[in-house]
Structures are given as C-alpha cells and as structure tokens.
Structure 1
C-alpha cells in the first residue's frame, strides 16, 4: 500500500485498544523503537489471530471479521464449511458476575477461531 500523494509505503493495521479501528501509518514507523510503558521496545509487534484471546466485544468481533476475511480470500465460507461463530449474549445483567455470559461468549469465540484456523490451514 502506498500514499497516493507521496508514494510512501504505508501499513494498514487494526488497533487492539479503544474502538479497534483501522489505521494507516508509514511503514518505517513499524520498525521504530521507543520508550513505551517505561521500557525501550518496538513501537509495534505483530499479533497472530491464533494468539488473540478476545477480552471484549470489539476484539471478539475483530477476530471473527479477520478470520471470515481470510476465509473469503481463500474462497471458503466459514459459516458453511465450519459453522457460524457463536451469537453475542443477550441475557447479561451487567453486574459483572463470576461466570458471566460474556466470559462464556469470549471462550466460545476462541474455540470457533481455533476451528476456523484449522479449517484455513
């Protein structure tokens, strides 16, 4: 991907915080290091879908969208070849209970993602 004005190489990425939006940065920034969280480290690190455990609705939706996109590029409909991802809960009381329906949902999305990754090879 390149900038239409300068032809500078760009990288499209999804943030793993906030609204999990899509962002574009100059590719050179991905190799920079700096002091983050009190220590010298790379500005960015690659996170594989296989290693991502959803912790909120946005990360679960991003994981499902990512895997569906990969499948589509391979000509696979995961809902047919595997099964649809688990539906979002509708019965949460909002009190943060131990064993909340959301915890079960995030685990179910992770199991679906593991099966999807196996299907995708």
Structure 2
C-alpha cells in the first residue's frame, strides 16, 4: 500500500484503514456510498449503473467510525426471491430484512457500544444468484 502512496489512517482489531490524497480531493479507500468505490471489502461486484451486486452469500465492507450518527442506511433489492439478509456490525446482528425486486431503503440504529474505529459490516444472504 505504501508503494501506491497510501498511508495508514486508523488501525483497530487487526484492520487498517488506508488513505491517500489525490490532488485536492481525498480518495477514501473504504466506503459504501455512491461517491466512492465500495468494493474494498469482500464479496462485491464492480460498480454498475444501478449499484453493486453481492457475488456471494456473504459480503463485507469496512467503514470508519461515523462522526456523529449511529444509524446505517442501505438501499437494496434482489433478483433472488425470496431473499433475506442478516446484517452484522462487528459480529453483532443488528437487523434482518427481506429484500424484494423493488429497491427499498432500510435505516437501522447501531449502538455506540457496538462501534469501533474501523467497523466490519457483514451481509449474510439467504440465497445467492448471479445477475
């Protein structure tokens, strides 16, 4: 990573968040919003026009601790119906939802005691399908 001009930003529980400045815009190595590349985790496809596909029954992303909010919002749909997804934050199950073919938003609280400096968000899908 250092050869690519990344430097460690935060280390926590064996994970390291790396950071690199490109011009005046920082490149955030780990993120899951549409402005950045969320594939730095495990089990995700590359970005497509309609979002990112999970390519396994288990996918992960790594997120830095939020500044103030303790909520996580995801927008998701599924080709495989029925599809249930269990979402864990740092190995603690925080929610289980049923996905449909229609894109829906899910917002759920995360307790401060669950959060770390670097958070492992794990998605466990009941069915696996490749679009």
- TM-score, normalising length from structure 2? 0.27
With CA pairs under 8 Å and 6+ residues apart, which has the higher RCO, 1 or 2? 2
* More strand as a share of residues: 2
> Which has the greater radius of gyration?
1
* More helix as a share of residues: 1
